[in-house]
Amino acid sequence: MASSSVLAPFIRKWEGGFANHPNDPGGATKWGVTLNTYRLFYGSYKSVEDLKNMTEYEWNNIFIRGFWDKALATQIVSQSVANMIVDWGWNAGMKTAIKAVQRILGCTADGIMGPITMGFINRANARDLFNKLYDARKKYYQNLVFKKPSMAVFYRGWINRIDDLKFTT
């Protein structure tokens, strides 16, 4: 079964520290956590300064409760597949990632990870599913840039990031 402790350092590596890029619709982020997400977990009164001071404990809580657990990733047999799904969700929203895997597997694409989707994931050939998720994710970013050209500044980084996710198990 997949472990969050394998993926967490990968995400932190790619997210870096605090950023507030003018082309990022998420606005201010630290370690990939947007201010809006931080407020969902720690209160609507939280400020950009509070986000800058977010602790590793707070980050890990958001990562586990808001992303890893929403994907039921601990139940995924393939660590590589879990990494691809949760990292995509971290970058684009869990519903986006879950709907993508559901469409690939021929499930109802409702954006909710449940026992039916989990069964399809764990019965699929893990390497094939990983490759299909890679292709779908790349196409997702291409479409995003096509719809919002201002996002092109992030495209190479997104592709480098998914290229860094290697299939192992």
d(CA 105, CA 44): 37
CA dihedral defined by 111, 25, 152, 64, rounded to 10 degrees?
-50
User: What's the pTM?
Assistant: 0.94
d(CA 85, CA 137): 9
- For 20, the 3-state DSSP assignment is coil
pLDDT in tens, 89-108: 999 999 999 999 999 999 99
pLDDT in tens, 5-57: 999 999 999 998 898 888 888 889 999 999 999 999 999 999 999 999 999 99
